[in-house]
Amino acid sequence: MQSFDLDRTDVSKIKSALNGDDEQLKVILSEYHASEIAILFESINKDDRQRIINLLDIEIASEVFSEMHEEAHPEELLLQLHPDKRTEIVEELDYDDATDIISQLEEHEQTEILKELSEDDASSIRNLLSYDEETAGGLMNTEFIKIQLGLTKKDAIDEIIRQSEEIEEFYTIFVIDEDNVFHGIVSLKDIIKAKGNVKITELVKAEVAWVTADTDQEEVARLISQYNITSIPVLDHNMKLLGRVTFDDVIDVLQEENTEDILKISGVSEDEELSGNWIEAVKSRLPWLILNLGTAFMASAVIRHFDPTIKLFPLLSSYMVIIAGMGGNAATQALAVTVRRISLNDLTDNQAYRTVLKEFTVGLINGAVTGLIVFFVAYFLDANLMLGLVIFASMTGNLIIAGVTGAGIPLILKRLGIDPAIASSIIITTFTDVFGFLLLLGLASKLLL
């Protein structure tokens, strides 16, 4: 399978061609796939992007727009173009792709572009703009193949051929009645293999997965993945067919959601663009760091409280780092697994309980094993059996706390309607630091002094 990754040599080659005439640049661009050109757009200025788009055929230019990441701001490039070129590109795009781009514009800019389109295209895009972009309605494409229940095999094939002239790709044929009420799907293979006089009614598969326009995009992705289907119908509350969401749209959703969760777990706002500048990065991250600083003072307060213990037994300070660090790592492991489980499925109360119990068990075993290792290190290095026991108990206890909080806090936040990825890491770090220090210094105060 051919790869469409653009390496440095390719980028340099195209950038060099930008210094030449249009004909030479056009020849160079013809060697590359639309997705490669979209990647190139992340590293060149707006004027060069506009020049390249104006040199490309409409079909390729529209593909480039559909492949551009949101962070590359395809909507800004669209506004730069001459109205005639812009209209041709938008009309060539699938309705869902066109809507995704236009939705990023100001309302008056959207109106300006929609006025340039044909009435049918403008109406379809306006309809899609009315849906929340993170729902099935915001993802769906209103271009699909549908046939009526009462058609014969021959009539159905004729209808499929007629509709397919306007549709680039289709994976599933949807079956409706005369009122556009959805009745199921039928495969092209089944139609072709059927006898000549058979009716679609006899071939339709009625038991299929479907979603409504307001279904969350993560649920749409989960259903397509669960049932291994290439597209899923989108219905209104009267079971009328509105559109379809295809697997390629779901791949984009999964990438976005995974990126969002990774950023949140790391304490980075989802508003920060991966390709953004340092000002955006500071604005995004600084509030979380300030909040984290506040929680760090809590851990510091515990250390201050046990300052007399540390002065009498300074060796404890070297083990405090180990206890806190191990607890933080264990909590992050439990958090990552739990957030991932939540994102894939809403856990029942029983599943949530079992998840926390599992992490308690894992924390107990891992804590005991790592605590035993540190016990022997402390015993042989410092020749203090009681110190080793204190560290063993502290390590075991803190890893149990890490596992329980790493699993329990995101589950509690989910129950409260709060995104479990957004605040879990900071809360959990506080727990493992504060309780790790409390266990170590508290036990040391009782057993070593």
Q: What pLDDT was estimated at residue 265?
A: 59
- For the ranges 105-109, 162-166, 239-243, the lowest mean pLDDT is seen at 162-166
- For the ranges 127-141, 232-246, 251-265, 381-395, the lowest mean pLDDT is seen at 251-265
Does 272 have pLDDT greater than 80? no
Does 16 have pLDDT greater than 90? no
Does 251 have pLDDT greater than 70? yes
Cβ–Cβ < 8 Å for 256, 273 = no
Highest mean pLDDT among 38-42, 168-172, 240-244, 332-336: 240-244
Cβ–Cβ < 8 Å for 359, 404 = yes
Of 127, 401, 425, 68, nearest to 265 by C-alpha is 425
pLDDT bucket at 424, cuts 50 / 70 / 90: low
Q: What pLDDT was estimated at residue 79?
A: 93
Q: Mean of the per-residue pLDDT values for the chain?
A: 86
pLDDT bucket at 63, cuts 50 / 70 / 90: very high
Does 100 have pLDDT greater than 80? yes
Structural domains of the chain, ranges and CATH numbers in brackets: 8-130 (1.25.60.10), 145-246 (3.10.580.10), 278-447 (1.10.357.20)
Of 112, 55, 50, 47, nearest to 32 by C-alpha is 55
pLDDT bucket at 260, cuts 50 / 70 / 90: low
Q: What pLDDT was estimated at residue 101?
A: 93
On whether the pTM is more than 0.95, the answer is no
Q: What pLDDT was estimated at residue 240?
A: 95
- What is the rounded CA–CA span in Å between residue 187 and residue 117? 34
Q: What pLDDT was estimated at residue 382?
A: 82
pLDDT digits (tens, 9 = 90+) for 70-91: 878 899 999 999 999 999 999 9
Q: What pLDDT was estimated at residue 196?
A: 79
Q: CA-CA distances (angstroms) from residue 206 to 1, 182, 234, 362?
A: 36, 9, 15, 45
Q: What pLDDT was estimated at residue 2?
A: 41
For 244, list phi and psi in degrees, rounded to 5: -145, 150
Average pLDDT on 144-164 reads: 92
Does 1 have pLDDT greater than 50? no
pLDDT digits (tens, 9 = 90+) for 342-401: 866 667 778 888 999 999 999 999 999 999 999 998 888 888 888 899 999 999 999 999
Average pLDDT on 1-16 reads: 66
